[in-house]
Amino acid sequence: MAESAHWETYLVEGFHEPTDVTITVDPNTTQGGMILLASRIRGIFDALSPRRDLETGYDPLVEEDPADLLRLVDHLHRVVSVLINEEDRVIEALREHETPVRRIASAMEVDKTTVSGRLRRIHRARTEGIGTMALTEREADEAMSPLGSNRDLGSHDQD
């Protein structure tokens, strides 16, 4: 069996003509978050691919039904959450290799304080057995309501 290329080979590939992109997912060996990402990427790609008109500012998304857009934003949020949790995983691996916080910050194009704060949040979330996105959402819910989680208060639609 031929060896596959190192994952880094696939990080930056430009497209100059129509190109198919294939991802192989093995549910027995693929990490759960990556399965979630792979299962949604085609739909997200198809929904967000049509370009906004740069001259008029017209966005083809306005033609979509609001119910479809709500479903899209739900799946986008799930993917963003997975990617943030995976970014945390990479940051932790870098720290295991004793990579300096300043070097991590440079790679992320943020300042050292941002990475230090992120490491504290990763530790706090890990201590509570949750991901940092779940911690952030819980803290936002608690900050918005003196009664506890907003999820317990019902609908918050605003006109």
Q: Residue 112: is its pLDDT beyond 90?
A: yes
Average model confidence (pLDDT) for the chain?
Answer: 87
Find the mean pLDDT for residues 47-52: 91
What is the share, in percent, of the chain residues with pLDDT greater than 70? 89
Q: Is 54 exposed, middle or buried (0-12, 13-18, 19+ CB in 10 A)?
A: exposed
Please give the residue that has the higher pLDDT: either 1 or 38. Answer: 38
Residue 41 pLDDT > 70: yes
pLDDT: is 2 or 72 the higher one?
72
85 pLDDT higher than 60: yes
Q: What is the DSSP secondary-structure string of 15-75?
A: -SS---------TTTS-HHHHHHHHHHHHHHHHH-SPPPTTT---GGGGS-HHHHHHHHHH
**Predicted local confidence at residue 158, as pLDDT:** 53
Q: Which of 5-19, 39-53, 143-157 has the highest mean pLDDT?
A: 39-53
136-147 mean pLDDT = 80
